[in-house]
Chain A
Amino acid sequence: MSKIHVQDLNLYYSSFHALKDVSMNIEACRITSMIGPSGCGKSTLLRVFNRMNDLIDGVRIEGEVLIDGKNIFGRDILLSELRKRIGMVFQRPNPFPISIFENVAYGPRVHGLAKSKDLEGLVERCLSAVELWEVLKDKLHHSALSLSGEQQQRLCIARLLAIEPDVLLMDEPCSALDPIATAKIEELCFQLKERYTIVIVTHNMQQAARISDDVGFMLLGELVEFGQTDKIFTNPVDQRTNDYISGRFG
């Protein structure tokens, strides 16, 4: 059974048809990238999985999304439980303007996961997982905003790991970072995929080719093609995919 199963998904922003009959399967412990030109609906699709689109007025969703076999639009779904399992990393690093420690502790505190004694251990584990612990262990009480962009993005990932999700949704996580920082975040994704299912939206085709196991190409709300990365990049079936990856538009 696939981790995320999408069947005939349609999404409308009022009268705008943003996702059209999207069907796909995302497998556990793999990196899946979604590529496509701006406005093609890839971020919208990502925000379906943790139901962040609920925040927008006038959104209508049809179709089915099953995560671990369970319909995420079902009546018995608790939004906070769903979002705890399906975490999200945003385009711009967005730590809270509080200390590094408090940033990581935010999620566990909200969910009542750890007593204050275990909390320190948890923060250490999460910061270690994103390789920030050694650098920051003496600065835990400094403001998170004093970190570099790349460190902030790592911190945001650590903050996410602290609530023990099993899917990580990444919405162009490197678009605000320089190439070296980008390479480091990509390396981190490689390490994380052993334990987490990662879905990453990216503008950058090289990035998709480098890090992902599967790739979906989207255009004007349609999922044009979905398959293994090497296949999509070397031997696409659809002419539009071919045009896009060979740089003819987008």
Chain B
Amino acid sequence: MIISPRHTQKIAFSLLSLCTVLVIAPVFVIIALIVIRGGPGISWEFLTAMPRMGMKAGGIFPAIVGTLYLVSVTMLFAIPFGVLAAVYLVEYARDHALKRFVEVAIVNLAGVPSIVFGLFGLGLFVVFLKMGTSILAGALTLAIMTLPVIITSTKEALSTVPRSFREVSLSLGATGWQTIRHAVLPNALPGILTGIVLGLSRAAGETAPVLFTVAAFYLPRLPHSFFDQVMVLPYHLYVLSTQVPNVKPEVQYGTALVLVGMVLILNLFAVIIRARFRRRKQW
């Protein structure tokens, strides 16, 4: 039987749109579920109070603060190393074996399962370097995990800056560094920021790397220094779901909602930065 081209066109179109809808469906289902079941649990007290009654009641304030604290310290390490390494790879390094080796290593780093980062952090920072279970150890572990995201997006941002900007700048007698500083980096900045925000949101949502390096099971006070343990949202959620019996669903889903909300807000920032830049960019 021969199907007419008009029909194959219809079939292809329906199939393609069906796949697209199926791809985005989980996002909406997940968010809807969390909002519906967690929404009632959100209150001012939930966001700003310490947990009570074995975490079954009260708020999740220390977990929110812990996550923000941890992510900030992570970025303190990840941003300078990631951005500067990417600048070196794109702007300075000539194409030799070492450069290619470093690039392959970065790609592989991105593929390492997060639990392996957790064990690595435990072995190196917590035990060997005697940092103990602390913000410092957790942040360093997360920083290593975030590095490939930041390096890759910074490299991409740098390579979208037209070659001609570099040529003009050098032809005006600027040195290599002046050219990078004044002609390249300002134009790559939005792309770099986008990458940083995406790395940040990934770090905020990870459980496995913080499991052995920083996360506290139950710690109803705020951290005082880099060497304190903290509660963090993803691990707290894990605890509420599996370790504590009889937790009300609105507490579990409320925690999930706060976590997802934080990550979505961060991603929204990335989208806004990119959109604003696209409007301004004219070359």
Q: A94-B164, A106-B182 are in contact. Are A80 and B175 (CB under 8 A)?
A: yes
The closest CB in chain B to the CB of A110 belongs to B174
Q: Within the complex, which residue of A50, A92, A143 is in contact with B171, where a contact is CB–CB below 8 Å?
A: A50
A90-B168, A97-B187 known; A145+B283 contact, CB < 8 A: yes
Contact of B95 among A52, A57, A111 (CB under 8 A): A57
The distance in angstroms between the C-alpha atoms of A163 and B282, with both chains bound, is 26
Known contacts A90-B164, A92-B164, A96-B165: A107-B173 contact under CB 8 Å: yes
A83 contacts B by Cβ under 8 Å: yes
Interface size on B, residues (CB 8 A): 23
| A52 touching B167 in the complex, CB below 8 Å, given contacts A96-B183, A110-B178, A145-B283 | yes
Task: Contacts A80-B175, A90-B164, A106-B182 given; indicate if A97 touches B170 (C-beta within 8 A).
Answer: no
In the complex the two chains form, what is the Cα distance from A87 to B169 in whole Å?
11
**Which residues of A have CB within 8 Å of B168?**
90, 94, 96, 156
Contact yes or no, B182 A83, CB < 8 A: no
Give A107 to B282 CA distance when docked, in angstroms.
22
B173 and A80 contacting across the interface, CB-CB below 8 Å: yes
Number of contacting residues on A, CB 8 A? 29
A57–B95 CA distance with the chains assembled, in angstroms = 9
Residues in A with CB closer than 8 Å to B169 are 106, 110
Q: Scoring A residues 131 to 159 as 1 if CB is less than 8 Å from chain B, else 0, what string do you get?
A: 00000000000010100000000001001
B155 to chain A, nearest CB (A): 19
CA distance A96 to B170 in the complex (A): 13
Name the contact of A159 in the complex, choosing from B94, B170, B172, B175 (C-beta under 8 A).
B172
Q: Which residues of B pack against A, CB within 8 Å?
A: 94-95, 162, 164-165, 167-175, 178, 182-183, 186-187, 280-283
A-B contact pairs, 12 of them (CB 8 A): A52-B171, A57-B94, A84-B173, A90-B167, A90-B168, A90-B171, A92-B164, A97-B280, A97-B283, A107-B172, A111-B173, A143-B282
